[in-house]
Amino acid sequence: MHIMEGFLPADHAIGWSLVSAPVVAYGVFSLGQKVRKHPEYRMLLGVAAAFTFILSALKIPSVTGSSSHPTGTGFGALLFGPTAMAPIGLVVLLFQALLLAHGGITTLGANIFSMAIVGPFAAYGVFRLTRMFCLPFGMTVFLAAFSADLMTYLTTSAQLALAFPDPVGGFVASFVKFASIFALTQLPLAIIEGLLSVLIFNALARFNPQELQQMKVLQTREVQP
């Protein structure tokens, strides 16, 4: 869901950048606080950034001016909180725009908002909500990662619909059109990302249970012997 360079009108590009900037700034602050307090988190932070970079670089052509791909942001949001993914997303999206021609500089703010803000908050909210209902750990991780991917593509659809409303049906008709076409590729990708996230978290739960407990991702009773 990287919107390509120059595709959005200038006022939309500037507006999304202004909306995303405060979240990125707070994310830098909160992430710095966590790493200073827990230096041992640096390895997991690198894993989360690499996971996001690799998955979101796997682009599949979709709606004109955009593409579909997994996001990988739900993984880091569960470990470090949703705001931490905003600066990580900024770095990932900037490198992809400059090195892979995936996304763009003028659309950076819009892409950060959809993939690195809305997606992580959706993942974190779904994870915490499902944990309250005592669902199995793997299921909560799957639903969180799936939701991050799903909400990212819905947000991108809304951004494109705002920029290019249907001449007859306006925003709603345009949103339905974009979201429907995205769904053909995005729903299977969201399922795949959810399953992959479960596999990685299961591995972390087995080999790094102390860190996951400290991060309040894993409960003591769920630690494998």
pTM exceeds 0.85 for this model: yes
Which residue in the block uniquely carries the two structure tokens 């990212």?
152
pLDDT digit string, tens, across residues 96-133: 889 888 888 999 999 999 999 999 999 999 999 999 88
pLDDT digit string, tens, across residues 46-56: 989 999 988 88
Angle at 181 between CA 120 and CA 193, to 5 degrees: 35
Would you give the distance in Å from CA 181 to the centre of its chain? 20
Range 113-130 burial, b when 16+ CB lie within 10 A, else e: bbbbbbbbbbbbbbbeeb
Which residue in the block uniquely carries the two structure tokens 């996971």?
51
pLDDT interval class at 211 (50, 70, 90): confident
pLDDT digit string, tens, across residues 170-209: 999 999 998 888 777 788 889 999 999 999 998 888 887 8
**pLDDT, position 30:** 92
pLDDT interval class at 63 (50, 70, 90): low
**pLDDT, position 209:** 81
Residue 61 CB coordination number (10 Å) = 9
User: Which tokens hold the place of 91?
Assistant: 């770095």
Question: How buried is 104 (Cβ within 10 angstroms: 0-12 exposed, 13-18 middle, 19+ buried)?
Answer: buried
**Parallel, antiparallel or unpaired: strands 67-68 and 60-61:** antiparallel
